Copies of this chain bind each other. A is one copy, B any other.
Amino acid sequence: MAQHNIDVQNSFEGVCSLFHNLQSGEKELIRRNFTCSFYRKGEIIYKEGDKPSGLVCLTKGKVKIFKEGVGGRDQIMRMAKPIGFIGYRALFADENYIASAQALEDSVICVIDRTVLLEILKMNAELTLHILRSVATELGFSNNRTVTLTQKHIRGRLAESLIFLRDTYGFEDDGQTIKVYLSREDLANLSNMTTSNAIRTLSAFSEEGVLELDGRRIKVLDVHKLERISDLG
């Protein structure tokens, strides 16, 4: 942990910047109940069924949130980037986690103690209302996702995932390479298809000149065409 040189103070300020209308006393309370830890690429941060111990925040790295599906097939529900919260749904619903979180790169994870946070929310209605708004917005995404994952065809689903990854992580300096490097399996689990079909469809996009592939590096050559494929289903 310590040997990875986590800048706790910096992480703390980053996390606090996500809260609106945080009073100085509340901030101090959080500081005293704030822990950070390091996760190596591939490590599990929490598992489906675990009980949330607090509000989890990713301050460095990338994390996937996934649910184990019917035939052992995973479904990636969310991709997290810094600085952002994860696992808050279970915390606020007062339930155990219904999905697992795994580091896709070396990551820094901070936790605000559950009890302390809920005490603050009970006193700060404006802050709670902001969080309510975020969760409501995410529920909207989730509902949209349900429809597209069930109704779009394979090409549309994969195209949508690629656009989603670009929106989430952006491009590298070349302005074309998506700034995340997923396995074909993860790409498939994000798009509700088998790994074979993810590979096949990526190859097709490459042959059509929409993408350029180099291992896990995905360069978007024709954004408009990709968007058209996504929209048509």
A→B interface (CB under 8 Å) = 67, 69-71, 73, 75, 77, 88-95, 98-99, 118, 121-126, 128-129, 131-133, 135-140, 142-152, 156, 192, 233
Contacts and interface: CB of A to CB of B under 8 A. Distances in A.
Copies in the complex: 2
Contacts of A90: 136, 140
| 7 pairs of A and B residues whose beta carbons are closest in the complex | A125-B125, A93-B136, A92-B136, A70-B151, A70-B233, A142-B142, A128-B128
Contact of A133 (B94, B99, B143): B94
Contacts of A135: 132, 135-136, 139
Nearest to A75: B147
Contact of A151 (B75, B94, B99, B233): B75
Nearest to A78: B143
A180 to B, nearest CB: 21
A69 B147 contact: yes
B131 A121 contact: no
